[in-house]
């Protein structure tokens, strides 16, 4: 409780995390088919850029040629990026982020460049600049940090890309959310019996952008020290700084099980505390059970499970903020929308 009142710090963000699957249910399967041709360029800023990275990895797995870059890179060097792509997908929760709007305006100068917006606001300025709009209207967070907007837009873009590639999305994710949330709640309470010095989140492929997003949530809400790395790259220097006070979160995947389990054994020898987030089959054959874990459903492929995989990281960031005496509902030094004045 905050002194002098009955308001509970972080209660709003906690509620958004807990109830975000309701926004997923509101997403329509009747979405317009994207008419743009490959190669595709995904752009965004902050969380929206990390969403672009996940979407790009997802598209590549479906056989689509694409790349993801920060919107600012396109803004700074439009002639380097825009002529190389037939289609650009611009991601912005608000649809008012300066970089996103400027990229859309620049893209209009390149004949044949087909544009789409992924946003939470159908009637935003960005939506008026593009050919197609994919809007998760029910997902706006009403707060600074992106929570349900991130996962909802990810559900939406995965459906759009599956349609584009002629693939089928698998299981409905909402049915599995309660169990994942409950496991994550238990894991977080156990983990923070002793506050970590630093947290490293490891994820590759479709989990690399998820790892980035999880770390960003920790930095935004908790003002804490956290880093994201590709799992196999972690051996190449970063783990030199590991101490007993650090936590490593591994976003595990079926196809990478052999390599990731070997990495897990190496991490355990270095005395770091390890949290595993991955499908049930990944844990089969481990020599000893892991107490800090969140098991994702085997019925959902690694490719499709991104919205579920990010939920434990959101909760972890929220709890770390409270432990640090921060209010996740009012993070320091941040605005919900970045608007540049000198452009």
Residue 120 shares a structural domain with residue 202:
no
Residue 114 shares a structural domain with residue 43:
yes
d(CA 160, CA 35) in angstroms, rounded, equals 11
Whether residue 304 is contained in a domain is answered as yes
- The tokens describing 97, both together, are 């982020």
The range of the structural domain enclosing residue 213 comes to 174-323
Q: Residue 37: which CATH number? A: 3.40.50.10490
Whether residue 330 is contained in a domain is answered as no
Displacement of CA 146 from its chain's centroid (Å): 9
Residue 103 shares a structural domain with residue 127:
yes
Parallel/antiparallel/unpaired status of strands 66-70 and 40-44? parallel
d(CA 220, CA 45) in angstroms, rounded, equals 14
H-only helix segments in the chain: 11-19, 21-25, 47-61, 71-76, 78-81, 98-107, 148-165, 177-191, 208-217, 257-269, 306-323
Whether residue 2 is contained in a domain is answered as no
Indicate the residue among 138, 165, 192 that finishes a domain: 165
Please give the pLDDT value at position 156. 94
Please give the pLDDT value at position 216. 97
Please give the pLDDT value at position 4. 41
Whether residue 309 is contained in a domain is answered as yes
Displacement of CA 259 from its chain's centroid (Å): 23
- 239-271 pLDDT tens trace: 888 988 999 999 999 999 999 999 999 998 887
The answer, yes or no, to whether the previous bond of 272 is cis (omega within 30 of 0) is no
How many residues are present in the chain? 343
Indicate the residue among 165, 195, 223 that finishes a domain: 165
Residue 112 shares a structural domain with residue 207:
no
Residue 315 shares a structural domain with residue 262:
yes
Task: Read off the pTM.
Answer: 0.93
Task: Classify burial at 159, counting beta carbons within 10 Å of its beta carbon; exposed 0-12, middle 13-18, buried 19 or more.
Answer: middle
| pLDDT block averages, 10 residues each, the chain of length 343 | 54 96 84 86 98 98 98 96 97 95 95 94 95 91 92 95 79 91 96 91 98 97 95 92 92 96 90 90 82 93 97 98 90 61 59
CB atoms < 10 A from the CB of 95, how many?
27
Whether residue 3 is contained in a domain is answered as no
Residue 157 shares a structural domain with residue 229:
no
Indicate the residue among 131, 165, 199 that finishes a domain: 165
> How many domains is the chain built from?
2
Residue 160 shares a structural domain with residue 178:
no
Please give the pLDDT value at position 287. 75
Residue 192 shares a structural domain with residue 79:
no
Residue 82 shares a structural domain with residue 198:
no
Please give the pLDDT value at position 342. 56
Residue 183 shares a structural domain with residue 253:
yes
Residue 240 shares a structural domain with residue 133:
no
Go through 105-121 and write b for each residue having 16 or more CB atoms within 10 A of its CB, e for each that does not.
ebbeebeebbbbbbbbb
d(CA 184, CA 333) in angstroms, rounded, equals 28
Whether residue 294 is contained in a domain is answered as yes
């Amino acid at each position: 409780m905050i002194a002098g009142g009955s308001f509970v710090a972080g209660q709003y963000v906690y509620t958004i995390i807990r109830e975000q699957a309701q926004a997923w249910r509101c997403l329509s399967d009747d979405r317009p088919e994207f008419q743009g041709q490959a190669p595709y360029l995904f752009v965004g800023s902050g969380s929206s850029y990390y969403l672009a990275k996940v979407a790009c990895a997802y598209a590549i797995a479906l056989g689509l040629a694409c790349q993801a870059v920060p919107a600012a890179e396109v803004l700074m060097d439009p002639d380097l990026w825009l002529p190389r792509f037939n289609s650009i997908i611009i991601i912005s929760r608000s649809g008012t982020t300066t970089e996103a709007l400027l990229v859309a305006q620049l893209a209009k100068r390149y004949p044949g460049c087909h544009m789409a917006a992924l946003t939470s606001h159908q009637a935003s300025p960005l939506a008026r600049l593009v050919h197609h709009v994919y809007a998760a209207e029910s997902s706006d967070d009403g707060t600074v940090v992106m929570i349900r907007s991130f996962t909802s837009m990810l559900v939406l873009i995965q459906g759009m890309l599956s349609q584009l590639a002629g693939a089928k999305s698998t299981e409905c994710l909402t049915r599995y959310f309660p169990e994942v949330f409950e496991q994550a709640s238990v894991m977080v309470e156990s983990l923070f019996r002793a506050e970590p010095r630093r947290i490293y989140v490891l994820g590759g492929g479709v989990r690399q952008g998820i790892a980035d997003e999880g770390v960003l949530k920790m930095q935004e809400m908790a003002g804490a020290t956290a880093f994201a790395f590709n799992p196999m790259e972690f051996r190449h220097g970063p783990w030199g700084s590991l101490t007993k006070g650090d936590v490593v979160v591994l976003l595990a995947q079926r196809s990478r099980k052999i390599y990731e389990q070997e990495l897990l054994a190496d991490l355990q020898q270095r005395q770091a505390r390890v949290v595993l987030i991955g499908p049930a089959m990944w844990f089969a054959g481990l020599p000893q059970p892991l107490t800090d874990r969140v098991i994702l459903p085997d019925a959902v492929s690694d490719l499709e499970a991104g919205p579920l995989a990010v939920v434990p990281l959101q909760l972890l960031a929220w709890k770390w903020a409270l432990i640090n005496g921060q209010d996740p509902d009012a993070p320091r030094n941040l605005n919900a929308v970045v608007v540049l004045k000198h452009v």
